[in-house]
Structure 1
């Protein structure tokens, strides 16, 4: 039996709507004499990242822990803090084609949720990037206390969208999230770039 087309969209932030230019971090690393990729490696260590994504520590506390871990590499706590602060000033760029799609489907009556593993800086980022009011709901892992791909995350997202899982399309760039969404009964599409725009339009009922 054919699956019903989705009537709501749950779209990821980082890697789908927001893009990061790796040259920014690379430039900071060169300026401070750091090895290539070390900022991301330290910041994304799961034991350090998971607490900030589930709201157990703040974004500021996470940033401070990254600076602490970096101190030995740069020679002083002050230089470590300066390097991390400079890196953090860059807040990414919005993919205009994805934003246009979100506006298009919302105008057609499709509910759109931003579904993201994020810190308590998310609201400030959305404001700085001009995205306030662009979504029907925002489902932030650090607010609800559970991160993708946990079943509880997708249950909360569907409840916020007021749409049963079988009618929600999740778009994410991570395979593990796609598997979790499908296990939770959602439709899911792994985003790899603008070629996905046609698929998402076709999968939604509008």
Structure 2
């Protein structure tokens, strides 16, 4: 039996709509004499990351924890804090192809949500990147208290979109999130780049 055509789109943020230039972190690490990749390695360690993604810690508290963990590599707490602050000034870049597609489908009447595991800095990032008026809903894990790939996350996203799961199309660059969405009843595509826009366009009912 064929699936219903999707009438709403849920898009991941980091890796799909927003991209990060790895040269920025590499430059900070070089300037502060840090091992290559250490900033991301510490920040993404699950013990530090999980609390901030579920709203149990603020973005500022997360970065303080990163600086504390970085201090042995730098030898000076103030220098570790400075490295983290410099790294965090860069807030990524919008994928213009994805943004153009979002504008296209919204103009055709398709509701578009941002579905992301994020911190309490998300609204500020969205505003700074000029995206505040480009989305119908934003589903932030730190606001709802549960993160992808949990079924409860996708249930909350579909509720925010006012669309049943069978009519929501989701795209994310992480396999776990895609599998979680499918388990929750959504259609889902593992994002591989702008070439996938052709598939998304064909899968939406507009």
TM-score by length of 2: 0.99
Task: Tell me the residue number matched to 2:118.
Answer: 118
Structure 1 unaligned blocks of 5 or more: none
Per-residue deviation, residues 90-143 of structure 1 (Å, max 9, x unmatched): 000000000000000000000000000000000000010000011110000000
Matches within 5 A, 1:34-113: 34-113=34-113
Task: Tell me the residue number matched to 2:179.
Answer: 179
Q: What is the CA–CA distance in structure 1 between the aligned matches of 2:36 and 2:61, rounded to whole Å?
A: 24
TM-score by length of 1: 0.99
Q: What is the CA–CA distance in structure 2 between the aligned matches of 1:100 and 1:50, rounded to whole Å?
A: 32
The alignment of Structure 1 onto Structure 2 pairs a total of residues equal to 206
Task: Tell me the residue number matched to 2:133.
Answer: 133
Q: Which aligned runs of 4 or more in structure 1 are off by greater than 3 angstroms?
A: none
Per-residue deviation, residues 42-62 of structure 1 (Å, max 9, x unmatched): 000011100000000000000
Task: Tell me the residue number matched to 2:193.
Answer: 193
Q: Could you tell me how far 1:165 is from its partner in structure 2?
A: 0.2
Task: Tell me the residue number matched to 2:25.
Answer: 25
Structure 2 unaligned blocks of 5 or more: none
Task: Tell me the residue number matched to 1:147.
Answer: 147
Q: Could you tell me how far 1:2 is from its partner in structure 2?
A: 1.1
Q: What is the CA–CA distance in structure 2 between the aligned matches of 1:57 and 1:159, rounded to whole Å?
A: 25
Q: What is the CA–CA distance in structure 1 between the aligned matches of 2:32 and 2:152, rounded to whole Å?
A: 41
Q: What is the CA–CA distance in structure 2 between the aligned matches of 1:75 and 1:47, rounded to whole Å?
A: 22
Task: Tell me the residue number matched to 2:4.
Answer: 4
